[in-house]
Amino acid sequence: MNNKTKILLALLFVIINSSIYFLIQKTTQFIIKNELQENQNILHTHYEILLESQTHISYAIYKSIMRNTNTIELLAKSYHATQDIQSKNRNTLKEELKEQYKTAKKQGVLQLHIVNKDTISFLRMHKPNKFGDDLTEIRPDFKYTNETKKALKVFTQGRVAHGFRNVFPIFDKNNIHIGAIEISFSSDRFEWYLNNISKIHTHFLINKNIFDVKAWERKDLVVKYKVSAENKNFMLSFLYFKEDQCIDRNILKKNHVKKEIALNMIHDKSFNVFAKDAEEVIVASFLPVKNMQNKTVAWIVTYKHSPILHSVFLVSFILQIVVFLLSLIIIFLLKEEILSKKKIQRQKEKAEIQTQKIEKKDKELQKQYDLFNEVLNSTNNILFITDFKNVLFSNEKFKNLLKIEKRKKYATQDGTFIMHCVYKENCPTAPTCKKNFNILDLFIVVDGFLHKELLQENESFVSLIKRTEEKNRIVSMMNSDCEAKAFTIDITPLKNAKECLVSLSDITEIKEDLVVVHKKAYIDGLTQVYNRNKFDELFEEEFKRSKRYKEPFALAIIDIDKFKNFNDTYGHLLGDEVLILMAQTLNASVRETDVFARWGGEEFVVLFKNTSLQAALEVSLKLKDKIEANEHKTAGRITASFGLTAYKDGDTQQSIFKRCDDALYLAKKNGRNRVESV
């Protein structure tokens, strides 16, 4: 072999190895980029879901307080009142809000705070003995809402705690601004959810500079916070995990990783880093949390072991060694060189397919976002003059709603209401074109709305309106497209006449929004059965009723046997399918009078109304058998254990659930797939 050939072979060897190394690095970087982006997307999605959930919860609490308590009246009266009257009003309001605040805390609410329009603290439900301090310079969120009269949601740092605050303006019945209310959630709630529900190791990094020095040195905060391993300028909370999980054995403490984290934090944008050693690869996702001044004061950090990246690095290392050895053989064997090229080509095609899949997925996600739009309806009221038999005058909104023929009068002398007959043909449940038809026939007979069947003997519709609370003055009508519409109704009698001016304001969308809010508050999102909040409400009602009228009821807690095995073996998606199948089986089997709900995790609960322990035992045995008979196509046979008890004289709600838990424990102890009663 001459020198020229040796040089060519050496060049070929170098070119082959360099090319393969470059390809491996590119492929590895591509996979790393997608893995990091996926982790960032998961963190961002969970963050947005939790923020949206807190927004809905706080708005619902705010609306409930405004409607169901005397907050507006008491706050308004206290503005110019003496200190004694203010104290009396404050204590009255505190008692009114006690139960709502207790319920709100169960939903993760940390603070409920009311200030007047001058940003003077009126009532802290979390610290009722502290009031009267001016928060104008301390609480910019309150200051903003009082100045702009707009709601605000923002992450902010208090004197000893940090969290997500929702601040709403308060208006009196004349729509005059009188103050603001804060409903806030601690950042600990985010950590709890992501750590315990989503099973994602998560913690908050709080900027050390926002801690008040004296407050930070208090014993409760020294125990709770410590300088984070990621960045010395941030503090780390140890509420849901031990210190060695985030500091002592943290491979992210490596200097080059810490430098990368510190450099990225300067830009105040989401980012990911990863660190690896011989045993594992950890991906850390960082999401900035900003305050009202759009300044990053905290970071949400998630840690995740990445088997994918660990495998990529291992395969990359092995592949480089293999390619090195193969390239030596390729120099002597042309056949091996061709096979090696084919292998490289296959790798390229696989990478292109993977790229196409990712691009397709991105397009589908973009398409879903583009489908969202708002439907705007006119807010102009429907107006007409009527004696509640004939319509004497109306605006175009009324005519368009019912497709009334354009004539000088809407009724003939014999009282016939003139409408298109196509209205009847398209909507069989709508009023017909008949004699003696009056305007009250347009109001649909349905619960929750005013209609003619609610009239007492010889009572007029005007009288019905007057004896109905203003918030309940609602009617429902069919439009010409056979769609039920909801309206608030306001009636003004005309002077020296029997006729009235009727004003209808379309609130169909508001009613639908209330249904959605109610569903989110009381329906379990996965199984579509009642959630724990709704069950607690119904159980409390039944407990009081049974205690008062001495009627029996029974309670059963149902736990899916070895549910963790389903998740560990088949994954959480199949675990969700098992929960849905369980809920469908039980919901279809219990009586309509009974209350069935998801209690939490893999536990469900059934309230057997007006039922003895023996009768409930017989029903529970049947339910157990139906669960066992309803096999999952992948997981196979599903069984459940029942803990059963019944109401006894002298019981409290806690004692009933304690006996139920004891019975469930006994069922588990005695072999599962059985019913035990205590």
Q: What secondary structure letter does DSSP report for 22?
A: H
Rounded to whole angstroms, the Cα distance separating 430 from 434 reads 12
Which residues are designated catalytic? 602
List, in sequence order, every beta strand (DSSP E) within 83-173: 109-116, 121-124, 152-157, 162-171
Strand order in the sheet with 474-478: 391-394, 382-386, 500-506, 484-493, 474-478
Tell me the residue type at 477.
M
Rounded to whole angstroms, the Cα distance separating 430 from 420 reads 12
What residues have CB less than 8 Å from 389, skipping those under 6 apart? 411, 415, 438, 439
What residues have CB less than 8 Å from 304, skipping those under 6 apart? 39, 200, 201, 282, 283, 284, 285
How many residues comprise the chain? 678
Closest C-alpha among 442, 554, 445, 439 to residue 500: 439
Q: Which residue has tokens 């963190």?
A: 43
Rounded to whole angstroms, the Cα distance separating 57 from 193 reads 15
Rounded to whole angstroms, the Cα distance separating 184 from 126 reads 11
In the chain, what is the greatest distance between 2 CA atoms, to the nearest angstrom? 123
Q: Are 555 and 644 in contact (CB under 8 A)?
A: yes
Chain Cα centroid distance, residue 464: 39
Closest C-alpha among 158, 181, 159, 184 to residue 170: 181
Chain Cα centroid distance, residue 436: 51
Rounded to whole angstroms, the Cα distance separating 458 from 464 reads 11
Chain Cα centroid distance, residue 492: 42
Q: Which residue has tokens 């959930």?
A: 53
Rounded to whole angstroms, the Cα distance separating 224 from 79 reads 39
Closest C-alpha among 180, 189, 175 to residue 141: 180
Rounded to whole angstroms, the Cα distance separating 352 from 269 reads 30
What is the Cβ-side half-sphere exposure of residue 164, based on CA atoms within 13 angstroms? 22
